[in-house]
Copies of this chain bind each other. A is one copy, B any other.
């Protein structure tokens, strides 16, 4: 196997651990907890795992633990550092007792149900230390939601003598981990379940989980690229670069990248929703900045656009929902729509059956985008929002707006565009020092939670803006982060998603600076992630967490 020079050198990196986890721990229990909302319902649903105390680990006397067999699952989308969580678990359980064993379930939660697994030996682990990707055992999107699945899990874990399962995933996967913990406790299986907070989206965080892993590395990769594009923009002075960034439901990625690179325009989905901004208003805002910069002779710029934006624009949300109904698989209107061979006629037909409001929105869209809404639907006939080229939609609409403005003398300049989408470029990058250390610590810490017999907890490592030695490790009951939300028509207990809040320090920093950044060219060029070199360059956490914790 060929490996790159960087892989070969990086394999030698020993991730840093908090002082408290260096050898043995003393478990300190905090107060009993309650869920962030809907306490009565959640308590009723989680009689065995509700209300448990917060746990902090302090450095303790050397303790004897029995050997423990542990299973691990990677759930959902890739995030940098997953392999380090697993190597942290491996080293952690071996530290607890060298006879301990680690099993990886293959291809995500489905591997548990299908009894597809592999033993993760030292040889395997060593190959994956400090690398990106989830390829060590693969990931998957099967949801563990049914008791039949849980029982299949019990079966294989009993067979392998697995005493604890660690699920590495986002908010949904950790919610399901907790449901599973509750079920296994209720059934007296003796199997513990521990969660680990993963997602590049940054929307799994709260007072006890300061950030999800992968967010640091992914936003650094995107910021490297945005900075490079900014430098190109200001060198060539020829294009507006419209950059779409991965992340459907929250705009933390866009916000963090904006703080790192100071682009001219940053759209935040949550702000659009809260202020009920229309597509027209967004386009006016963008065109206004293009025109102002043009007036200063600067016919170039960079705009950051969150992937999920259109779902936050009220009128688009309604349009998409109407289209989902009207073009539902097998409906009469869908059959009729399918009968058109000409796209133009197809669009005219759709415009005719939409509500007046939605028809207005629909016909205002560039035809290519209108077609993406109706032609590229999923097997259920739903609009595939992730396929909508929001960056091109906005680019074309801004162009039309500028044409109008030119006619009345409000725009005197040129407007050329380049489009980018950054997503897959960052999800599997090799983890930054921060993510390498954080992930390893999360995994190592999880092994102590297991040794101490805990279940229904999420591995928690806090105080992340301090040096790793001073990080605070412990566990947070998953129920503490839950509230009740409507999902697919039913009220369900779920971990509250952390959206960008307009009164948060990171957003306020953007809001206070964006007018200046819009007009003056204030680009910052973060450059590529560095693993060796000055600590200011190599070991900085995100701007988001730095600002959040400085408050």
Contacts and interface: CB of A to CB of B under 8 A. Distances in A.
Interface of A: 1-10, 77-78, 131-135, 138-139, 221, 224-225, 227-229, 231-232, 234-237, 241, 260, 262, 341-344, 368, 418, 420, 424-430, 522, 524-534, 536-537, 540
Most buried by B among A262, A525, A532, A536: A525
Given A228-B425, A342-B344, 7 more contacts: A6-B525, A9-B533, A131-B231, A132-B525, A138-B237, A228-B428, A341-B344
Given A2-B522, A231-B135, A531 B533 contact: yes
Contacts of A224: 528
A101 to B, nearest CB: 24
Given A235-B138, A537-B9, A525 B418 contact: no
Given A132-B525, A343-B343, A235 B532 contact: no
Contacts of A7: 524-525, 527
Contacts of A426: 228
Most buried by B among A78, A428, A529: A428
Contact of A530 (B2, B225, B531): B531
Contact of A229 (B342, B424, B533, B534): B424
Contact of A3 (B77, B524, B531): B524
A420 B537 CA distance: 29
Contact of A5 (B4, B138, B342, B537): B537
A132 B526 CA distance: 11
Contact of A10 (B3, B260, B430, B527): B527
11 contacts: A2-B262, A4-B260, A6-B530, A7-B525, A133-B231, A221-B528, A228-B428, A232-B427, A235-B428, A429-B527, A530-B530
A235 B134 contact: yes
Contacts of A534: 5, 9, 532
Given A9-B537, A232-B427, A532-B533, A526 B133 contact: no
Contacts of A8: 536
A334 B4 CA distance: 53
B343 A524 contact: no
Contacts of A342: 342, 344
B533 A228 contact: no
A132 B228 contact: yes
A527 B430 contact: yes
Contact of A235 (B1, B5, B135, B235): B135
A527 B232 contact: no
Contact of A132 (B138, B231, B262): B231
Nearest to A422: B425
A424 B420 contact: yes
A133 B234 contact: yes
Contacts of A529: 528
List 5 tightest A-B contacts by C-beta distance, closest first.
Answer: A532-B533, A528-B528, A6-B527, A231-B428, A133-B231
A259 to B, nearest CB: 10
A132 B224 CA distance: 12
A139 B235 contact: yes
A365 to B, nearest CB: 16
Contacts of A537: 5-6, 9, 532
Contact of A4 (B428, B525, B531, B533): B525
Nearest to A532: B533
A536 B10 CA distance: 12
Nearest to A1: B522
A232 B133 contact: yes
A426 B235 CA distance: 13
A293 to B, nearest CB: 16
A352 B536 CA distance: 64
A9 to B, nearest CB: 5
A424 B221 contact: no
A7 B10 CA distance: 23
Contacts of A1: 522
A138 to B, nearest CB: 7
A1 B262 CA distance: 11
B2 A225 contact: no
Nearest to A12: B534
A540 B135 contact: no
Contacts of A10: 527
A119 to B, nearest CB: 20
A425 B533 CA distance: 24
B533 A234 contact: no
Most buried by B among A236, A343, A532, A540: A236
Contacts of A231: 131-133, 135, 428-429
Contacts of A78: 232, 235-236
A275 to B, nearest CB: 28
A506 to B, nearest CB: 16
A9 B536 contact: yes
A64 B403 CA distance: 61
A6 B228 CA distance: 13
Given A525-B132, A528-B528, A429 B228 contact: yes
